[in-house]
Structure 1
Amino acid sequence: MKPPLSPPTAESDRSRPDSLSGNGRCGASSSALSILVIDDNPRIAESLGIAIELAGHRLDIASGPEEGFSRLAAQRYDAILLDLNYAAGRTDGAEGLAMLARLLADDPAACIIVITAHSGIRLAVAAMQAGARDFVMKPWRNAELIAKIEVAAARPAPRADRPHAYGGEVPGGEPARLLGDSPAIEQVRALIRRVGPTRAGIVVTGPSGAGRTLIAQAVHAASGDVDRPMARLDLRDTAAWDRLAGEEAGTWLLRHPDRLDEVAQARLLDRLPMAARFIAIADDPGGITPALARRIATVEIAAPSLVQRQADIPLLARHFARIAAERHGRPAPRFTPAAEALLISAPWPDETRGLSAAIERALLLGDGGVIEAALLAPAAPVVAAAAPRSSFDLDETERGMIEAALIEHHHNVTHAAQALGLSRGALYRRMARHGL
């Protein structure tokens, strides 16, 4: 059981941050700080919120690690207050320490302050040894709490013994943080941590819409050029190549080098500044000539498709739903069990980009803060029109939609047929064909 609180609980009128200055990174705090609290106890979070906002700082609250990573992927924070226990009855701090490790692996300069009870002093010490900037004991004194946050946020983090990491701050850009826990996306993270700090040319491949640009941003965030914006150039616009002459250093994002013929690639190679680093995005790395590849494609990072990271789809869907809800002033929606089943079973056109668009559309068309399978189903027919698939894939898509509709309507065939736009007879025939 969590210890009693100080100060007493009250409803928090949380303001949204206007200007964010770091993804949990330590830096000077001459103005209001943006702070993320990750704690599953709403009373704790609200009490922290009262103290933080009375001190003139800005606050967001995440109810657990998943929402915490989601918020960190969407915006930047000067400090992160991290609880160490989340599951009911757990007091060993394993969940919080695991999140602390991943946060610091993403960004070694992250400014993290752990929250623990007096009985958890050993956990606090372990967290400090693992890289936390400070700790707060429950119950706390407001003045001490605010002082700890402000001092930790103002103190520069040591960098000498730590490489840059992909979750770091990129001036003028969005946080470069990859969501998901699947082996496929963790392999990408590990590769970014290995090659990001080098000067090697990187080519990012994989299906369009799978997050290739985000991976390129993550590589840049892990590099020594992180303090300089990454210049971008679509190589199909040869008139824009003149920009290369004015930049001798820094990092360039080059799009579509594989779509140039051999002569154009040779001309491009002659124009590349010797001191610059290049990150390319290509559909076919084999289409890059060997001479050009030595400069811009020494290492390939393949963005995994949603099929390769299927376990991440529900997490990504909740992240996209939260972002869309905030954008349109709606409450964060929940997914029905049938909708969750459809999310995993249906192929999504345009990969994660297409999934995000489908979630946003479902949010806008739905009522009562609930996303049903029928609201997501319209995305499926687009797959056949936009990217022809084998008959097996189409059969699996149809079966998944029928199963989702039947679950959604408690196996009422009439209602399921109406949701699918079919007659009862047509639905029965399809159910027989699929063995349902």
Structure 2
Amino acid sequence: MNAGVFEGVASGGRPVTDTLSANGQSTELSSDGAILLIDDNPAVAGAMEIAFRMAGRMLDTARGPEEALSRLAARRFDAILLDMNFTPGQSNGEEGLALLSRIMADDPAACVVVITAHSGIRIAVAAMQAGARDFAIKPWRNSDLVAKVEAAIARGVPAISSSVIMATDAEPIRLLGESAAMQVLRDLVRRIAPTPAGVTVTGRSGSGRTLTAMAVHAASGQGGGEPARIDLRDESAWARLQDGINTVILRYPDKLGEVAQARLMDRLPPALRCIAIADDLAALTPALRRRIATVEIAVPPLERREGDGVMLARHFARLAAERFGRPVPCLTAAAEEAIRTTVWDDEVRGLALAIERAVLLVEDGTIDAAALAIPVAPLASGLGQASFDLTDAEKAMIKAALREHRHNVTHAAAALGLSRGALYRRMARYGL
């Protein structure tokens, strides 16, 4: 897949250096004949792994929607086997249908075979209407299930309604995150992408602007070819404007002066669709803004993506563990609280770097707050809102560490990277 990238950084498995996107998407997206099973039952996963391995297929397993979306962002699979319920006691299939809808919205060409109970024919029909290629009824014979999946793959991509915006030959770009802010972002991308309008993506560096620009192109229906990406600060790169057959991604048009912006206007082919990445739309001349910024897509900062930080951290941990041959670590409650409350330098890219470093350094398979190397001391001066927010964040981290270690101050202090005395002083300050 021509995966999404950080600001000016190629995608893949290494944050900040050169290969990890703001959502952890990888350039290593060849499926290698792999199947993804989304099921929380280890017994089912074990039996299916044997059956598919005997059929010459590798089976990867995700235990729920979050892990499934993480794995789908990191690689492409020939087919997806989707159970329809993940919460104990649930049998209405709503969880599976919601995940199916998300998968098909990201990639209408996905080959999904749903798994449902014998009494779930209604759910299976709804899944087929939502884009699944086939369904299997529990219980099944493994040989029959393998044959059903192979047949679904062999049938290829079904006819897709004209209302679906992604070209079937385009690789999906997955914007990870379940917060309201990310849902709004994905919806805007899907509505604007099929139009020829010029789009400018704004937001903080490291938040996923290039990934979002690539998502607009992938959902545009202009084919699967990767558009030319041009840093306009390098005038020698302007010659590549002629390389863009349908779409070009322009970086930093707002860094050009008025004369240079006028020259850029003259150089842009009339039929070329422009997707730009900029810090400040106000710096664009009215003429250039009309040409390349008919619509602004603002990528939300990480602190506005409620809960997405922890989800992304788990995703980055899985990617880093696979890349370095380490067991997938778990995050302690204090580490999760630290991730939720930290304003990360370099946004999602900074979080990815912190997680990758922690995966390399921890020895017990557990990432605690100390392993993230986040300063926990509040600002020494200043009475602004940011200072109050940081104080609240530190208090929440300390409470989480104390709960996790059953109020053992020594262990909680070690998890937070503090001395016992420093932790006692903070506990007294916050009345803990």
When the two structures are superposed, what TM-score results if normalisation uses the length of structure 1? Answer: 0.84
Is 1:239 aligned to residue 240 of structure 2? Answer: no
Where structure 1 has 5 or more consecutive residues not aligned to the other structure, the ranges are 1-16, 23-31
Supply the AA of the counterpart residue of 1:317: A
Percent identity, please.
Answer: 60
State the secondary structure of the residue aligned to 2:120: helix
What CA distance in whole angstroms lies between the structure 2 residues aligned with 1:382 and 1:253?
41
Counterpart of 1:348 in structure 2 is: 344
1:286-338 Cα deviation digits (max 9, x unpaired): 11111111221111111111111122122111111111111111111111122
8 Å contact kept, 2:201–2:278: yes
When the two structures are superposed, what TM-score results if normalisation uses the length of structure 2? Answer: 0.85
Q: 1:325 aligns with which of 321, 324, 327?
A: 321
Deviation of the 1:404 alpha carbon: 5.0
1:49-96 Cα deviation digits (max 9, x unpaired): 222222222321111111111101111112111111111122211111
What CA distance in whole angstroms lies between the structure 2 residues aligned with 1:75 and 1:182?
23
State the secondary structure of the residue aligned to 1:119: coil
Counterpart of 2:252 in structure 1 is: 256
Counterpart of 1:64 in structure 2 is: 64
Q: How many residues align?
A: 403
Where structure 2 has 5 or more consecutive residues not aligned to the other structure, the ranges are 1-25
8 Å contact kept, 2:330–2:365: yes
What CA distance in whole angstroms lies between the structure 2 residues aligned with 1:319 and 1:185?
16
What CA distance in whole angstroms lies between the structure 1 residues aligned with 2:133 and 2:403?
48
What CA distance in whole angstroms lies between the structure 2 residues aligned with 1:377 and 1:21?
34
Matches within 5 A, 1:210-249: 210-247=207-244, 249=245
Is 1:178 aligned to residue 184 of structure 2? Answer: no
What CA distance in whole angstroms lies between the structure 1 residues aligned with 2:419 and 2:29?
53
Deviation of the 1:19 alpha carbon: 7.4
Matches within 5 A, 1:270-419: 270-378=266-374, 390-396=386-392, 398-400=394-396, 402-404=398-400, 406-407=402-403, 409-413=405-409
Q: Which has the higher contact order (CA 8 A, sep 6+)?
A: 2
Q: 1:207 aligns with which of 186, 204, 207?
A: 204
Matches within 5 A, 1:97-112: 97-112=97-112
What CA distance in whole angstroms lies between the structure 2 residues aligned with 1:355 and 1:255?
23
Deviates more, 1:390-399 or 1:67-76: 390-399
What CA distance in whole angstroms lies between the structure 2 residues aligned with 1:182 and 1:192?
16
What CA distance in whole angstroms lies between the structure 2 residues aligned with 1:405 and 1:101?
37
8 Å contact kept, 2:28–2:75: no
Supply the AA of the counterpart residue of 2:267: R
State the secondary structure of the residue aligned to 2:307: helix
Deviation of the 1:284 alpha carbon: 0.8
Deviation of the 1:427 alpha carbon: 4.6
1:320-360 Cα deviation digits (max 9, x unpaired): 11111111111111111222222212222111111111111
8 Å contact kept, 2:378–2:394: no
8 Å contact kept, 1:20–1:34: no
8 Å contact kept, 2:320–2:356: yes
Supply the AA of the counterpart residue of 1:294: R
State the secondary structure of the residue aligned to 1:115: strand
Q: CA RMSD in A?
A: 2.8
What CA distance in whole angstroms lies between the structure 1 residues aligned with 2:147 and 2:379?
54
Supply the AA of the counterpart residue of 2:191: R
Counterpart of 1:12 in structure 2 is: none
What CA distance in whole angstroms lies between the structure 1 residues aligned with 2:242 and 2:279?
26
1:118-156 Cα deviation digits (max 9, x unpaired): 222222122112221111122323443233222222322
Is 1:84 aligned to residue 112 of structure 2? Answer: no
